Amino acid sequence: MLHSEKGSSARAGIGPVAAVSLIVMLALAGCQAVPRVEPPRPAPVPAPAPPPPAAPAPVTPDQSWEEAPVAAGNWRYEPSVNDSLASYGTAGSAPLLTMRCMTATRRITLQGSRLGAGSAMTIRTSYGALQWAADAPAGAGGLSVTRPASDPGFDWIAYSRGRISIETAGAPRLIVPVWAELVRVIEDCRG
């Protein structure tokens, strides 16, 4: 019996502090942080290249002259003793349009190299359309119109809102900006 009492006293020998410690340790062992395994991320996909810039919208015959693109180029002013000249076009190529003042006669010639060979020229401005008879025949420089510098149509051209359109039969319309060089020729012929 002694032996059995020893065994039971050994069991009874675990004190309440040891039992609580054992329970706390078991509880903490259950709370152990297990690292979370995330699935591997796919390699980043490179961003697609931006699309190429859109080509300019083609000019349609239905597009109004106020909305259609202006012809590529710049105005250049060339004064001289007898005449003054403004020409529109790109560097290194023949001008698309010229306006020349002949000071001796106080007349202005408007001439376009790609205006066809019609009998009239229509010039559209923000004030209205001008119908001017063409000089005959069209020379090597293209269709031309010569008018007195005092013609009020030149005021319509000079004060048109940003652009004018020049149209003739058998040729595409020519739209050019209204810049100071063009206005200067008109002033030279009137002054």
Q: Write out pLDDT tens, residues 44-84.
A: 777 777 666 655 545 555 689 999 999 999 999 998 888 99
pLDDT at position 132, please? 94
- Give CA 128 to chain center in angstroms: 28
R_g of the chain computed on alpha carbons: 45
pLDDT at position 126, please? 96
pLDDT at position 1, please? 47
φ, ψ dihedrals at 10, nearest 5°:
-70, -40
Low-confidence ranges of the chain (pLDDT < 70): 1-13, 24, 26-35, 37, 50-62, 136-141
- Domain residue ranges in the chain: 74-190
Question: CATH says 74-190 is which class?
Answer: mainly beta
The SS3 assignment for 111 reads: strand
Taking the whole predicted model, whether its pTM rises above 0.85 is answered as no
The SS3 assignment for 20 reads: helix
